[in-house]
């Protein structure tokens, strides 16, 4: 029995052909960054690192949504959880991330009403079912998750749902790529660009960054054959010395992206500066609610404006997200920081580089 659109991209013989071609073509040492956390997970899960030649290094990038969420935003979620008559709704990944001294999971064990949802619309339904309580949704994620959050705000606005609001820590991918290219010490020979994000943004969204920095860039799907194909394309671009912006995921990604989703996002959100964990503020890299929707902005509704907090001492999460360090080069890795007792979010999220290293490699 096969699983359509999955099994054919896990085909062992096709994968082995790609692996042998990569081995044939690749000569230069290459540092390729998979921008997306789902890629990191998939690369480990399928053992892709173990089949690539030794001259190719894969680096986990800043695309794990939980990992790049600033400590002050995690602290804000915890503050909401501590308020009376507030139900905090969140995607599961976020619940164990330590803020300054607590986590949503800990607040839950102390009696806070924290609920894991699978869609932001579960949160609006909870708001409808609990008219006496305020429901706050922790808005974390990239272009992939922003459209449904925007749609939920439009629905809540249309339904006059006054007890629902979101705290937007949502972020955009292309400005992060540009920030990486500008940062000191960052050595990247090519980007494996995110598949899900690109379904929404389209290939065109990366054109500006590509043209400015002339960096080999290939959009990839998430199955092993997809990833190996993208790696091969990046190897070929590097060996030939001809950087290009290519789409290795055409079954899902178009040049323009999902225009309907983009229209919905534009109705609700506007671009603003955003604080990234370990990287700092990146101009024009976040999404804030437009003035017309301020009544759904939890930060405004509850006057939640926490100061930036220093990250835990010794935690190299930020440098790891920028490809400057590997998890094993962090002083806390497997010592003070373990999945059982994590210090930074890279160790918490299933898509975090440190968690993936510990879980899947020896």
Report the interface residues with other proteins, using CB under 8 A. 1-3, 6, 10, 12, 15-16, 19, 38, 41, 44-51, 65-66, 91-96, 98, 101-103, 105-106, 108-110, 116-118, 122, 140-142, 144-145, 196, 224, 228, 339-342, 349-351, 358-362
Q: Give whichever of 44 and 80 is closer to other proteins, judged by the CB atom.
A: 44
Question: To the nearest whole angstrom, how small is the minimum distance from the Cβ of residue 26 to other proteins?
Answer: 17
291 vs 362 by CB, closer to other proteins: 362
C-alpha–C-alpha distance, residues 77 and 139, integer Å: 10
Minimal distance, residue 116 CB to other proteins, in Å = 7
Whose Cβ is closer to other proteins: residue 105's or residue 300's?
Answer: 105
Question: Among residues 149 and 268, whose Cβ is nearest to other proteins?
Answer: 149
Cα–Cα distance between 61 and 316 in angstroms, integer?
13
* Of residues 20 and 256, the one with the C-beta less far from other proteins: 20
What span, in angstroms and rounded, lies between the C-alpha atoms of 114 and 104? 7
CA dihedral 102, 92, 352, 13 (to 10 degrees): 160
In angstroms, the CA 321 to CA 63 distance is 8
DSSP H stretches of helix in the chain: 12-25, 37-45, 71-82, 104-109, 120-129, 146-159, 173-182, 195-201, 207-213, 224-240, 259-268, 298-301, 317-321, 353-360
Write down the least CB distance from residue 166 to other proteins, Å.
14
Nearer to other proteins, 80 or 91 (CB): 91
| In the complex, minimum distance from the CB of residue 186 to other proteins, in angstroms, rounded to a whole number | 25
Cα–Cα distances in Å, from 212 out to 87, 101, 123, 209, 237? Answer: 45, 42, 40, 5, 17
Beta strand 269-276 pairing with 280-289: antiparallel
**Least distance in angstroms from the C-beta of 362 to other proteins:** 6
Residue 242 CB, shortest distance to other proteins, in Å, is: 28
N-term to C-term CA, the chain: 32
């Amino acid at each position: 029995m096969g699983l359509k659109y999955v099994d054919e991209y896990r085909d062992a013989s096709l994968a082995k052909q790609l692996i042998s071609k990569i081995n044939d073509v690749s000569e230069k040492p290459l540092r390729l960054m998979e921008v997306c956390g789902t890629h990191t997970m998939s690369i480990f899960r399928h053992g892709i690192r173990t089949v690539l030649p030794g001259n190719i290094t894969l680096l986990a990038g800043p695309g794990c949504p939980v990992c790049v969420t600033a400590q002050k935003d995690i602290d804000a979620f915890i503050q909401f959880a501590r308020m009376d008559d507030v139900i905090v709704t969140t995607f599961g990944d976020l619940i164990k991330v330590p803020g300054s001294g607590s986590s949503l999971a800990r607040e839950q064990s102390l009696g806070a009403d924290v609920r894991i949802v699978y869609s932001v619309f579960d949160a609006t339904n909870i708001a409808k079912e609990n008219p006496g309580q305020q429901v706050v949704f922790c808005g974390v994620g990239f272009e992939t998750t922003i459209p449904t959050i925007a749609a939920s705000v439009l629905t809540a606005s249309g339904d006059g749902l006054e007890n629902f609001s979101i705290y937007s820590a949502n972020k955009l991918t292309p400005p992060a790529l540009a920030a990486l290219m500008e940062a000191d010490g960052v050595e990247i020979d090519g980007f494996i660009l995110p598949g899900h994000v690109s379904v929404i943004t389209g290939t065109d969204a990366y054109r500006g960054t590509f043209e400015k920095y002339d960096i080999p860039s290939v959009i990839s799907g998430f199955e092993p054959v997809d990833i190996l194909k993208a790696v091969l394309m990046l190897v070929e671009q590097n060996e030939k010395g001809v950087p290009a912006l290519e789409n290795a995921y055409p079954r899902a990604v178009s040049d323009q992206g999902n225009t309907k989703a983009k229209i919905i996002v534009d109705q609700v959100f506007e671009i603003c500066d955003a604080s990234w964990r370990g990287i700092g503020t990146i101009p024009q890299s976040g999404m804030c609610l437009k003035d017309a929707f301020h009544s759904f902005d939890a930060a405004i509704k509850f006057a939640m404006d926490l100061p930036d907090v220093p990250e835990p001492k010794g935690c190299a999460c930020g440098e790891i997200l920028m490809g400057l360090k590997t998890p094993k080069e962090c002083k806390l890795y497997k010592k003070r920081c373990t999945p059982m007792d994590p210090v930074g979010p890279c160790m918490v999220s299933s898509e975090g580089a440190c968690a993936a290293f510990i879980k899947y490699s020896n």
